[in-house]
Chain A
Amino acid sequence: MDRIPAIELKNITKTFGKIVANHNVSLSVNRGEILAILGENGSGKTTLMNMISGIYFPDSGHILIDGEEVVIKSPKDSFDYGVGMIHQHFKLVDVLSAAENIVLGLKGKYNLKEASAEVSRIASQYGFEIDPAKKIYEMSVSEKQTVEIIKVLYRGADILILDEPTAVLTPQETSKLFAILRRMRDDGKAIVIITHKLHEVLSLSDRVAVLRKGEYICTLETKDATEASLTEAMVGKKVALNIDRAEPKDPEDRLVIKDLDCVNREGAKVLDDVTFTARSGEILGIAGIAGSGQRELLEAIAGLQHVQSGEIVYNDPKTGKVENLRDKTPMQIRQLGVRLSFVPEDRLGMGLVGNMDIIDNMMLRSYRKGKSAFLQRKEPRDLANEIIKSLEVVTPSASTPVRRLSGGNVQKVLVGREIASTPTVLMAAYPVRGLDINSSYMIYNLLNQQKENGVAVIFVGEDLDVLLELCDRILVIGSGKVTGLVNARTATKEEIGLLMTKSSAENEEGGANNE
């Protein structure tokens, strides 16, 4: 290769106390190229990129930009070299508009009108859809991401780093983003993307760099790579990527949802006459474009969302009693003896407490046990250690704050805890979001085990291939309405894709005919 790489990393090492996040990592990315970085959870991808964007400073090693050694001490330095990073967690000010967020923190005076015009120009150049005047809190995740990307382009970035940008996008949004990234590559920008989805790596990137446990393993030409070869490089051994789907054993109706209606804080209808049944010993998948009411549905069942009308009926397998859970608080639901577990979408914001250690997070579910006014930490400690061992959670110890764990390990802790309370109903919202292949399959297997134990599993997913492979039935929702219920063993991706957009398509046509 005779070109000078846009970024070259040489022997980068970074440690956090005893943890070695990166060890002697060397890799490079050229202009006019998309480099994918692949690695299991906690292999040090984010840390490595954070050193280029000035968030961390390497313990040792060199960073070269356009062939010259540079020292990046702060995000500002990084900007000055033309590096822009889009983080896993967005850093936008909610109450400001897109354009305001974009100019925020820039030196000197700026004219919001001119800024808006420039934003629109960048948008049309690469094909973004954005309204500069729209406030962040009114935006969907994908719109927020667009703002983040335009923000770095606006500041003149020509080296773009995206940390798991597709984790929160629908397939449609993802392909739009990829089209934009390809256009930028053809425009001569250097692009680094982190993703756990192998098919994305294969379809988008030119080269793939693989990290394993902080070490640099290799760089492969994408055209020579396959899913199997990538997985092997990443994990270090051959792995079988398949899901065993057992036939449901004597399914019973466990949870019957009838005509559920629900409005959000702004008064918009988010659930509209939703009716379905979740059966024991079965995985019911829920498919739909992100934000079609999945979250509200699960939260309504869990007692966290007020319901306008309808019923949530639970059939107790032990006593045979029938309970209506509607408008019960989570506490009342538990007092009824309903063992409902819930893995929410927002792991650190709802499922766990980031500043508490694994043991205290285990206790969230169990601390009320017993009449004593005092906490019992022995059981949670044992549980924490058991989960760390059985789910291979990478952590220095059980008393490490969860916020310090990598995304995948956070999720293992949460799922592990929710399963540990031997639920009769297990709801999981995007449980493999941000997880590497290995951990994802571990989660699928856990869900399958629960199903075989007779649990009614509700799985909200985004990857249709996985939904079709894992679930028994798939409920499709669009704009808060049930648009279809299909047998996952016989349905096709196209069929589900069509159902997903059905209701919104109807709305565009005026919502008149109902077939």
Chain B
Amino acid sequence: MNKTAAAKEKKTREPLFHIVKKSGIVWWKAWLIRIAAVIAALMVVAVITLVMTGQNPLEMYKAMLDGAVGNSTRTWNLLQDTALLLLVALAVTPAFKMRFWNIGAQGQVLAGVLATTACLRYFTDKLPTPLLFVVMILCAILAGAVWAVIPSIFKAYLNTNETLFTLMMNYIAINLVAFFCFRWSKNSGNDVIGLINRKSKVGWLPEIGGNKFLLIVLTVAVLTVVSFIYLKYSKHGYELSVVGESENTARYIGINVKSVVIRTVILSGAICGLAGFLLVSGVHHTMTTEVEGGRGFTAIIVSWMAHFNPFYMILTSFLIVFMEKGAIQVASSKNLQLDDNFSSIVIGIIILFIIGCEFFINYKIKFKSKNKEEEALKQ
């Protein structure tokens, strides 16, 4: 037993601390920890900025704030982009909750973009405006849903890997969009479609009280509440959680697993399609391969960070968009000699802290020696 003896010598010392899983935490404490994490991240970033670049970190934070909420247009832009990211996050959530690893939101959004653009091109003159909107919305939703349902059918009936499949569907969508950009560009050769109905603005999402951002923000706000209710209080939402947790249990209580999978993924795709419609009709009024803006992937982070809770997603999507906007300003500010690579480092550090702080929400660290001292004091 030499081995054991050696081990003993090594390990009779009390560990400095040990990690204990918490059995639950009051919500406000959890938020306190999260806020503390953001503050800690800002401080770490400040030090790094100072040491690495010699720039004034306060100056940098000012630029960030300025970029995000510096004037009312920027603030509204921030809100609109938050809403759009949130919408895609709402779309991926039901599928992820069901453990269907749909990373094809990008493709599904682009399908919606393509459908909307096609409607604008072919129906502007043929349909009265209200009907045009109905057709655009329906086509976008349908396109997104179709883009999602194909992998889900293969998953349900042939058990193919949905992650790879949805990824491939992304590439197809991107290239389809590129192809139609080429086809529909006015002077073929430069592949740029340009603003559609630039003069008449037909098929452009209407402004509310002169504010062109408000309608998108309101739509997404409503959908957030609806999503929350759907996931938590509807029978469908319950079924998809059961399928996600255990397919065997789902089958045991008589849930038709295949149809739940397909139904849920259609829902995901449909919301993505709607996001595609909003991007074209409400924001860009044109189609490029870039309009999706990477939201399909960022949305996954938004959804996970919020533990699939739509209300928390408001915060996580806001945070990410806020930092992105700030980072752009930092990179372009004349007072600072920082480029967008550095902004990305900043964003990375802050997100790392926020994800990392979940550890302190779920676990607590107990310092052994301290407890002993306390005990001794008590006696």
Hey, which chain A residues are within 8 Å of B238, CB to CB? 360, 363, 367, 375
Q: How far is the CB of B104 from chain A (nearest CB, A)?
A: 26
Mask for B9-23, Cβ within 8 A of A = 1, else 0? 001111100111111
Pick the contact of B252: A18, A66, A304, A363 (CB < 8 A): A304
B235 within 8 A of A: yes
> Is the CB of B253 closer than 8 A to any CB of chain A?
yes
Cross-interface CB contact of A17 among B22, B251, B255, cutoff 8 Å: B22
Given A57-B18, A156-B3, CB of A353 within 8 Å of CB of B249: yes
Q: Does B189 contact A (CB under 8 A)?
A: no
The smallest C-beta distance from A47 to any residue of chain B, in angstroms, reads 13
Name which of B31-39, B108-116, B201-209, B240-248 contacts chain A. B240-248
How many residues on A have C-beta within 8 angstroms of the other chain's C-beta atoms? 51
Chain B residues, CB < 8 A from A310: none
Q: How far, in whole Å, are A18 and B245 apart by their CA atoms in the complex?
A: 27
* Residue A512 lies at the interface, judged by CB distance under 8 Å to chain B: no
Chain A residue at smallest Cβ distance from B245: A353
Q: Does A82 contact B (CB under 8 A)?
A: yes
Interchain CB contact under 8 A, B23 and A349: no
Contacts of B130 in A (CB 8 A): none
Could you say which residues of chain A place their CB within 8 Å of the CB of B210?
none
Stretch at the interface among A199-207, A273-281, A329-337: A329-337
A349 to B245 CA separation, bound complex (whole angstroms): 9
Q: How far is the CB of A381 from chain B (nearest CB, A)?
A: 14
A55 to B163, CA, bound (A): 34
5 pairs of residues in contact across A and B, judged by CB atoms under 8 Å: A18-B23, A19-B23, A70-B12, A80-B7, A364-B249
Contact of B254 among A59, A158, A331, A360 (CB under 8 A): A331
B7 to chain A, nearest CB (A): 4
Residues of B within 8 A of A368 (CB): 235
Which A residues touch B233, using CB under 8 A?
374-375
- The complex places the Cα of A373 from the Cα of B366 at a distance, in Å, of 46
Query: In the complex the two chains form, what is the Cα distance from A59 to B374 in whole Å?
Result: 14
Decide: A57 near B20, CB < 8 A? Known: A329-B256, A375-B235.
Answer: yes
A interface residues (Cβ-Cβ under 8 A, vs B) = 16-19, 57, 59-60, 65-66, 68-73, 77, 80-82, 156, 158, 302-304, 329-331, 333-334, 342, 344, 346, 349-356, 360, 363-365, 367-368, 372-375, 404
In this assembly, does B52 line the interface, its C-beta being within 8 Å of a C-beta of chain A? no
B256 touches A350 (CB 8 A): no
Q: Which residues of B contact A73 (CB under 8 A)?
A: 11, 15, 18
Tell me the complex Cα distance, A303–B235, Å: 22
* Closest 9 pairs (CB-CB, A-B): A17-B23, A80-B7, A330-B254, A331-B254, A353-B245, A57-B18, A350-B248, A364-B253, A16-B23
Chain B residues with Cβ below 8 Å from A303 are 254
Partner of A80, one of B11, B20, B236: B11
In the complex formed, the residue of A with least CB distance to B232 is A375
Q: How far is the CB of B365 from chain A (nearest CB, A)?
A: 11
Instruction: Give complex CA distance A304, B12 in Å.
Output: 54
Return the contact of B248 from the options A59, A349, A364 (Cβ within 8 A).
A349
Q: Are A81 and B253 in contact (CB under 8 A)?
A: no
CB-CB under 8 A from B236, the residues of chain A are 373
Which of chain A's residues have a CB closer than 8 A to the CB of B12?
68-71
Is the pair A330, B234 in contact by a Cβ cutoff of 8 Å? Answer: no
Which residues B228-278 have CB closer than 8 A to chain A? 229, 233-236, 238, 241-242, 245-246, 248-249, 251-256
Which residues of the other chain, B, contact A82 by a CB distance below 8 angstroms?
A: 1, 4
Chain A residues positioned under 8 Å from B23 (CB to CB): 16-19, 404
Q: Is the CB of B241 within 8 A of A356?
A: yes
The answer to whether residues A373 and B235 also contact, given A82-B1, A349-B246, A353-B242 and a CB cut-off of 8 A, is yes
Kindly state the separation between the CA atoms of A60 and B233 in the bound complex, as whole angstroms.
43
Q: Using Cβ atoms and an 8 Å threshold, which residues of chain A touch B246?
A: 349-350, 353-354
Q: Which A residues are in CB contact (< 8 Å) with B3? A: 80, 156
| B301-337 interface with A by 8 A CB criterion | none
- Tell me whether B198 is interfacial, beta carbon within 8 Å: no
User: With a CB–CB cut-off of 8 A, which chain A residues contact B234?
Assistant: 373-375
Complex contact B256–A331 (CB within 8 A): yes
Given A77-B7, A351-B249, 13 extra CB contacts under 8 A:
A18-B23, A60-B371, A65-B8, A70-B8, A80-B7, A333-B254, A353-B242, A353-B246, A355-B245, A356-B241, A367-B235, A373-B235, A373-B236
Distance between Cα atoms of A365 and B253 in the complex (Å): 6
Q: How far is the CA of A17 from the CA of B24 in the complex (A)?
A: 7
Q: A364 is contacted by which of B20, B21, B242, B366 (Cβ under 8 Å)?
A: B242
Instruction: For the complex, give the distance between the alpha carbons of A350 and B248 in Å.
Output: 5
